[in-house]
Chain A
Amino acid sequence: MRWAPPLKDAGCAALVALTLAFPLIGFQTSDAGVGFTTRFAWVGVAAVVVFVGRLLLGFAPQRFRLHQRGVRSTAVSDGKFVKLAAAALIVFAVLLPVTPLASRRSIDLATLALIYVILGWGLNVVVGLAGLLDLGYVAFYAVGAYSFALAAQWYHLSFWEMLPLSGMTAAMAGILLGIPVLRLRGDYLAIVTLGFGEIVRIVLNNWTAVTGGPNGVGDIPRPTVFGMPIASGAPVGVTTFNQFVGIAYDPMQRLIWLYYVALAVALAINWYSLHIRRLPVGRAWEAMREDEIACRALGLNPTTIKLSAFATGAMTGGFAGVLFAARAGFVSPESFNFQESATVLSIVVLGGMGSQLGVALAAVILATLPEFGREFAQYRMLIFGAAMVAIMIWRPRGIFTVRAPSVRLDRP
């Protein structure tokens, strides 16, 4: 084992880490801008950590090294493991409220996780399948949430009425936002969609007359059970679900109902996403991602294919928005910033672009991470950012590297 090169390598890395850490970790100014404290110990720690890490990497077996440039690490799975894992997850999700794990907090958290799963699947269509890097996905999330909130406020429409309507609205927004970016290639598409996301947020924040500005919109109704609200009492002429069934009201019921509604929506979207991959348009998305020029040469119309990807992804984002609004009871512009888009993007990237199960798992992990401790909440975005870089370098196809083909010769 030759020690010299890895040691030298690690030494250089540590030196760089020292230089990088020195100004920003080494010094901390007081907010008034006149005094400062030093934290050189931490600078030293950073250097040591980098040294050790790089050294270990230098001795790691080939398997863990950077993936070979240009070699395609695509394997084709036969889907059995995936089906099993998915089935297990679904069973767990359905049974969650009756297990000992159930509590107000855990059910609420599970609902949030489901919302992120839906968001992930939605963006997965755009980024994972069609290969269009949309950095403004949060715009559709916002359209869904706000269209529901405002419709409830002005027209007293209910959750069930707005779920499909907000989805449609978001889909139309997807088409509208998709038209200008049709001819843009990867990088530019990303920045323009980011711009759109920001425009939506700024408009929501400032168009106070319509959107309520920074204060947002509140009093958002929760989903009813066949038109009957779950409540302790209701205005004259309306029967509550509790009255109907004859059980006393408990806030937990509302939470559980919303959770099941979210689960139903998620399962519907899952079915839809899986099926659409096997339809001409789904295959066209993937082909477009692989090589747009070849697609055109085969008579595929890039415009309709890209717009359909945007519309589908946007509609899904809209559904998630409606659920988000129902869960929180209140929407405001600060929930719909770039950070949110970045979070959903990292879900898709970490989960393996195109992989349904992977994205779902990544979404659940990311949504529940802050719950495991204060430190995780603080470090969450830092970890996401680093993970995105790391995944691209080591396993660009995500944690789940296998791709199931949409059609097979031996088992059509």
Chain B
Amino acid sequence: MTRLPLLAVENLSMRFGGVIAVDDLSFTAYQHEITAIIGPNGAGKTTVFNCLTGFYRPTDGSLVLMSDGRDFRLERLQGYRIARHAGVARTFQNVRLFAGMTVLENLVVAQHVVLTRASGYNIGGLLGLKRHRDAERAAIARAREWLDLIDLTERADEVAGNLPYGAQRRLEIVRAMCTGPRLLCVDEPAAGLNPHESADLAQFLVSIRDRYGIGILLIEHDMSVVMGISDHVVVLNYGRKVADASPAEVRRDPAVIKAYLGEEDD
């Protein structure tokens, strides 16, 4: 099966005053693949995510998302448009759920763009038009499907902030998926989870990749997850790329081992 490129990062640089967080980074992520970005703390991984998702404007370089024959230059798109038009969704290092709203509401908000259009920019909704009601029902049904997948259907009407940590992480991923993305960026999803939960999460990501055929970009420190599910690994250190290969090759790469100084938890 030929690999279809999804995201082409070329010469990406991000400078904050005198600090160079990302230095001339280039790599490609492919469709139907899980690409992991790993590296010691401070290597610039989350900075790359922030550039990809419009929270930082890159100092240099290009980020091209390719899909259905269309190209999106992410470094030129305004923040929210990246999620809305280019279809790049993400989760955050510190879970950012709408903690005061319910689990279901979180997922329905994620479908905001679709629902707004269907409600005729809210006017139709106010008038109670059928199109709006149908769209709402569909959105709830879609949310329910996802909730079933992560076993949260029973807690759909609970306040999201009260969920246990692991459930919150899963919910955040599912919320990102509800936007119907082409590329899902997951930032340290296994942080704070025990080995059993991490394994479940890893499987969950694989199932998403298989069912929806999207590309997944993964930042992670837990090597068992990274090595277990990634199709492709990019290693960063001090903002520069140190390796870009399959998990097995990266594992053996002396440069990578040096960068981590033996940091490997299995």
A 83-104 contacts with B by CB, 8 A: none
Flag whether A275 is at the interface (Cβ < 8 A). Answer: yes
Flag whether A4 is at the interface (Cβ < 8 A). Answer: no
In contact, B140 and A298 (Cβ under 8 angstroms) = no
In contact, A296 and B80 (Cβ under 8 angstroms) = yes
In contact, A297 and B89 (Cβ under 8 angstroms) = yes
Q: Which residues of B contact A297 (CB under 8 A)?
A: 53, 80, 83, 89-90, 92, 96, 176
Flag whether B170 is at the interface (Cβ < 8 A). Answer: no
A407 vs B108: C-alpha distance when bound (angstroms):
9
Main secondary structure of the interface of B (DSSP, over half): helix
**What total of chain A residues lie within 8 Å of the partner, measured CB to CB?**
35
User: Which segment of B1-9, B150-158, B217-225 sits at the interface?
Assistant: B150-158
A409 vs B101: C-alpha distance when bound (angstroms):
13
Residue from the list A279, A295, A408 in contact with B125, Cβ < 8 A: A279
Flag whether B166 is at the interface (Cβ < 8 A). Answer: no
From residue B238, how far is it (CB to closest CB) to chain A in Å? 26
B 177-198 contacts with A by CB, 8 A: 179
A284 vs B104: C-alpha distance when bound (angstroms):
14
Known A-B contacts A280-B125, A409-B140; A294 and B108 likewise in contact (beta carbons under 8 Å): no
In contact, A298 and B122 (Cβ under 8 angstroms) = no
In contact, B83 and A74 (Cβ under 8 angstroms) = no
The residue on B at minimum CB distance from A290 is: B98
Q: Which residues of A contact B157 (CB under 8 A)?
A: 76, 405, 408-410
In contact, A298 and B105 (Cβ under 8 angstroms) = no
In contact, B102 and A76 (Cβ under 8 angstroms) = yes
Instruction: Name the residue among A276, A301, A407 with the largest chain B CB count within 10 angstroms.
Output: A407
Q: Which residues of B contact A279 (CB under 8 A)?
A: 119, 122, 125-126
Flag whether A185 is at the interface (Cβ < 8 A). Answer: no
Flag whether B229 is at the interface (Cβ < 8 A). Answer: no
Q: Which residues of B contact A295 (CB under 8 A)?
A: 80, 109
Q: Which residues of A contact B104 (CB under 8 A)?
A: 405, 407-409
Flag whether A239 is at the interface (Cβ < 8 A). Answer: no
**What total of chain B residues lie within 8 Å of the partner, measured CB to CB?**
48
Instruction: Name the residue among A289, A301, A302, A410 with the largest chain B CB count within 10 angstroms.
Output: A301
Q: Which residues of B contact A280 (CB under 8 A)?
A: 112, 115-116, 119, 122, 125
Residue from the list A76, A281, A287, A302 in contact with B98, Cβ < 8 A: A287
The residue on A at minimum CB distance from B153 is: A409
Flag whether B97 is at the interface (Cβ < 8 A). Answer: yes
In contact, A298 and B83 (Cβ under 8 angstroms) = yes
Residue from the list B83, B102, B137, B161 in contact with A299, Cβ < 8 A: B83
Residue from the list B99, B102, B158, B179 in contact with A298, Cβ < 8 A: B179
In contact, B137 and A276 (Cβ under 8 angstroms) = no
The residue on A at minimum CB distance from B90 is: A297
In contact, A290 and B126 (Cβ under 8 angstroms) = no
From residue B119, how far is it (CB to closest CB) to chain A in Å? 6
The residue on A at minimum CB distance from B85 is: A299
A 377-412 contacts with B by CB, 8 A: 403, 405-410, 412
Flag whether A56 is at the interface (Cβ < 8 A). Answer: no
Q: Which residues of A contact B105 (CB under 8 A)?
A: 283, 286, 405-407
Q: Which residues of A contact B144 (CB under 8 A)?
A: 409
Q: Which residues of A contact B55 (CB under 8 A)?
A: 293, 296
Flag whether A300 is at the interface (Cβ < 8 A). Answer: yes
A280 vs B126: C-alpha distance when bound (angstroms):
10
Flag whether A291 is at the interface (Cβ < 8 A). Answer: yes
A280 vs B179: C-alpha distance when bound (angstroms):
14
In contact, B98 and A294 (Cβ under 8 angstroms) = yes
Flag whether A2 is at the interface (Cβ < 8 A). Answer: no
Identify the B interface with A (CB < 8 A).
53-55, 79-81, 83-85, 89-90, 92, 96-102, 104-105, 108-110, 112-113, 115-116, 119, 122, 125-126, 136-137, 140, 143-144, 147, 153, 156-159, 161-162, 175-176, 179
Identify the A interface with B (CB < 8 A).
72, 74-76, 272, 275-276, 279-281, 283-284, 286-287, 289-291, 293-302, 403, 405-410, 412
Q: List 24 A-B contacts (CB under 8 A).
A: A276-B122, A279-B119, A279-B122, A280-B116, A280-B122, A281-B116, A283-B101, A286-B105, A287-B109, A289-B100, A291-B97, A294-B92, A294-B97, A294-B98, A297-B83, A297-B92, A298-B83, A298-B176, A301-B80, A301-B84, A408-B102, A409-B144, A410-B156, A412-B140
Inter-chain pairs besides A279-B119, A300-B113, 5 sampled, C-beta below 8 Å = A286-B105, A293-B55, A298-B89, A300-B109, A409-B153
